[in-house]
Structure 1
């Protein structure tokens, strides 16, 4: 019997487990899949392409690098984790060969923008200054409980607020704007507008307060973007080594089917097949809060109010969903047209366009795509991000081969013609348009692996194929994530705790929810020990 069971072996569950084990608790992690890591897993792609490895979901570690988790858990210094910065990490391509590279250095980005629009270059620097101020203010609050923030983190946020007080009004105005409105007001050139719409379509672009998604620019310019050597799966691999070194345990093929409750308190879990695994102090889940509270606990233990809250946790409300495509190739992709344009236009340019994520759709095409998704239609142009993952790490494919990666958040949540038809339509449109920029894509294909909404739901046990667990709309952030009254990681059942992307602070590869949930649980356990000591005394 463990002190704490962590149900779900994604990176947030593993981060939480590491902190708990290092605090002296006996921790066991249970993962439903045969491979540990959840959406940070790296696996072979398809049988017809042996030796081609893919990052099944996430690839970038930008948010993780805004935390102290790596240093505190000694993942790099002791457990072999290796990250390498990609700069520029994003490049937007034009259909005539032109491009704008987004560098970590905002001034360098502005220099490229100035080639197309001096006005946009000035606006870029002004906007990045405001957004970066927002990150500086918000980051301390992202690294603690949203309901009961640690005093030191609150003090840091207030200090940053004082430092950036001139940016507070521009910040408030930007956050309340619609995504499309914020872009169109500040920028005029299509090559500048395009990537800002495509990169993070969290909410319908015309919705008030949807512009908050542009916060990623502040993160990008603050710490840049890195990827994991050996694939994203190197991250959970290092976490497992850390956990085991602290005495913790990990089990794969251990699907949780029920949270066991005794005397009103969570005391363990029942696995598929009937095995019961008990916990002395707590059960923590790291998958969808809607599944935990709506399917795995006895509903009569929740109040009517809480049952209603759980039913209405949004997982498919924005109208658009994620889609992922990997293609194994028996040769190397080329981008000669765009590479030659950069060589002519920026003498001495060293950007290898095969390395960063690239976008090419226009602002208008992305707007049209979201509207089509809401109508249940497959967009004519499926706007998204593309990358040759083997350009970063050639070991992820046989020598001389490439693997192509494409992600979009702009596919319909509920396609009118059903997923069997929509999946094929999306895949063919993505490949046809990608081939305009990546020479050899269609001719070199060995095999493909598309992951649409139902595939993501099945592979990652994600309700509605939601990679964020809860829709990342602004009204479901902070203390409202996943629902009002459930924002402090503690479920409405004693002894049951939640972490993962559906809890504070943010989705993506960050580890922040795991860090925050474990720290909050440890504080609660210390309080319980003190109360027990006082009663005994």
Structure 2
């Protein structure tokens, strides 16, 4: 296993559970990729450097059925705020996303009663799609043609195809009336790091609305790094081995079959049955000596990146923020600040041209829900802003603190008690810092590239490639493959393909009938 991020560890844990002799090679001295927790500011303040809110992983049988014993044997625990999140306007209006869809509709009704009813109708419309897609989300994806053919056989499915091809902004405008409701839902789905007008993104509104009500959002107790620790424990429990500081330089081949890896030290390691890469597919042409040909490289190089990056601040606070929107909005696990239309769309336009923005940050204070993350009475703040991957003026190293100051001012304006004197320490990471943090994150994108329909589901990363690379025994897992970005444990699907190719019954491996 080349790469010890959470997806590489997930795949390795399933392979080790099947009884295979597994070795994980991680180039850094720390495992987990973006799923790590550091005392980044001061001792006792535990900050999730990248992945913080765990959402889609709760629909994964790895968690829902505890297939690897992460919950029952390896100490993984979640806390689930309810409401999971709130989207807040500068004037104090907000929508709170509760597990109970009707409670969510009640907060929408305070802005628009017709849209409260529209939201319930949309939830009813989208839920069958989630029922259909969720089992496939953590299994090898069906060929895109087969999926579309299945949908095309019913009138409801035809409507879903139409939505899949639309932008999420267009879907919001088609289903909802009030500009604030449209803005709130658009702001939420923009977590994809894709501009609202981009086509082929409508699927995410269809999935996110029913999912948040079915599963909610979770914080890992003690920090996201505890998920990494639990996966490591599962691997070693079944005899797997893990090496850090082992940087893979290139992959080795024997004829048409992958045979191992060469490290930057010159050491060669041989694999008898399979080599799995938990890397960005765009790293592979160079690491394979272009053995898959110029056409394959061209297809990889044309994969479209996300539209913008992230500027993240980790702050140690002397007290918890009190939000001006009130206790209900402030009680959510995550707060997302939005602007009304068309100001919201103008903010995204600025990102296209390298201009930083500060008006729509995301806010999380996980220590409110998990006191282990900060000393008594103190708190950790995760303050995130969308940002251009490259600035039109200046560079990130010289400007990140100044730009983040404006984001912090926006945050303070949404509270009654926050100011610079409540900050005990802070660390700011720009998109450039994230790119330096992980070689698989071009432009600082942990998701590797965008997830528009033409590079999603069975078309991620290439049409109907799945997880098999063009050499026998060679596989790819991680955000470059289905289901894509985020903390999902999605490499479960890739591990299933490897095991089935090797003749294993995956259902028996995971202990299901």
* TM-score (normalizing by structure 2): 0.90
The answer to whether the 8 A contact 2:200-2:454 is kept is no
The C-alpha deviation readout for 1:368-392, integer Å capped at 9, x for no partner, is 122111112113x442321112112
- Residue in structure 2 matched with residue 464 of structure 1 by the alignment: 443
The C-alpha deviation readout for 1:121-178, integer Å capped at 9, x for no partner, is 01111112222222111112223222579x9xx9xx97xx79x966434423332322
The answer to whether the 8 A contact 2:79-2:370 is kept is no
- Residue in structure 1 matched with residue 297 of structure 2 by the alignment: 307
Consecutive unaligned residues of structure 2, counting only runs of 5 or more, are 505-513
| Residues 95-494 of structure 1 mapped to structure 2, 5 A cutoff | 95-147=90-142, 167-201=156-190, 202=192, 203-214=194-205, 215-291=207-283, 293-299=284-290, 301-315=291-305, 318-329=306-317, 331-335=318-322, 337-339=324-326, 342=327, 351=328, 353=330, 355-362=332-339, 363-379=341-357, 381-408=358-385, 410-417=386-393, 418-438=395-415, 439-461=417-439, 462-484=441-463, 487-494=465-472
Q: Distance in 1 between matches of 2:24 and 2:359?
A: 38
Secondary structure of the 1:395 match is helix
- Residue in structure 1 matched with residue 54 of structure 2 by the alignment: 61
Q: Distance in 2 between matches of 1:9 and 1:79?
A: 18
Secondary structure of the 2:313 match is strand
Larger mean Cα displacement after TM superposition, 223-232 or 269-278: 269-278
Consecutive unaligned residues of structure 1, counting only runs of 5 or more, are 1-5, 343-350, 528-537
The answer to whether the 8 A contact 2:76-2:227 is kept is yes
Q: Distance in 2 between matches of 1:265 and 1:137?
A: 36
Secondary structure of the 1:426 match is helix
The answer to whether the 8 A contact 2:361-2:411 is kept is no
**Are the structure 2 counterparts of residues 336 and 221 from structure 1 closer, same or farther at C-alpha, using a change threshold of 3 Å?**
closer
1:425 Cα deviation (Å)? Answer: 4.5
- Number of matched residues? 493
Q: Distance in 1 between matches of 2:212 and 2:286?
A: 38
The answer to whether the 8 A contact 1:455-1:465 is kept is yes
The answer to whether the 8 A contact 2:201-2:451 is kept is no
The alignment's C-alpha RMSD in Å is 2.4
Among candidates 39, 49, 52, match of residue 45 of structure 2: 52
The C-alpha deviation readout for 1:487-529, integer Å capped at 9, x for no partner, is 22111122221100110123211112x11111101111129xx
**Are the structure 2 counterparts of residues 445 and 190 from structure 1 closer, same or farther at C-alpha, using a change threshold of 3 Å?**
farther
1:306 Cα deviation (Å)? Answer: 0.8
* TM-score (normalizing by structure 1): 0.86
The answer to whether the 8 A contact 2:86-2:329 is kept is no
1:233 Cα deviation (Å)? Answer: 0.8
1:55 Cα deviation (Å)? Answer: 0.8
Larger mean Cα displacement after TM superposition, 413-422 or 502-511: 413-422
Q: Distance in 2 between matches of 1:364 and 1:423?
A: 27
The answer to whether the 8 A contact 1:332-1:400 is kept is yes
**Are the structure 2 counterparts of residues 499 and 338 from structure 1 closer, same or farther at C-alpha, using a change threshold of 3 Å?**
same
Q: Distance in 1 between matches of 2:397 and 2:344?
A: 24
1:181 Cα deviation (Å)? Answer: 2.1
Q: Distance in 2 between matches of 1:63 and 1:99?
A: 24
Q: Distance in 1 between matches of 2:60 and 2:73?
A: 17
The answer to whether the 8 A contact 1:133-1:167 is kept is no
Q: Distance in 1 between matches of 2:136 and 2:85?
A: 27
